[in-house]
A = this chain, B = another copy of it.
Amino acid sequence: MNTVAPVKISFKQQMLQAREDAIIRAVNQLLAEKGFEAMTVDEVAAQVGIAKASLYKHFPSKEDLAAAAMAHLMGQAQAFLDTVPLALSPLDKLRTVVRWTMGLKLGGEMPSLPSQNSTLRATLMGNRAYMDGLVDVSDRLGGWIEAAQAQGAINPRLPAIAVLYTLYARACDPVLEFLKMSELHTDEEIIELVLSTCFDGLNAR
List A residues at the B interface (Cβ < 8 Å): 33-35, 37-38, 91, 114-117, 152-156, 158-159, 161-163, 165-166, 169, 172-175, 177-179, 182, 184, 193-194, 196-205
Contacts and interface: CB of A to CB of B under 8 A. Distances in A.
The 10 closest A-B pairs by CB, nearest first: A201-B201, A37-B37, A200-B201, A165-B175, A155-B204, A165-B178, A199-B203, A199-B202, A169-B175, A199-B201
Counted per complex, copies of this chain come to 2
Contacts of A114: 35, 37-38
A91 B154 CA distance: 23
Contacts of A173: 169
18 contacts: A35-B114, A153-B203, A153-B204, A154-B203, A154-B204, A155-B202, A155-B204, A158-B196, A161-B179, A163-B197, A163-B202, A165-B174, A166-B175, A166-B197, A169-B173, A172-B174, A199-B202, A201-B203
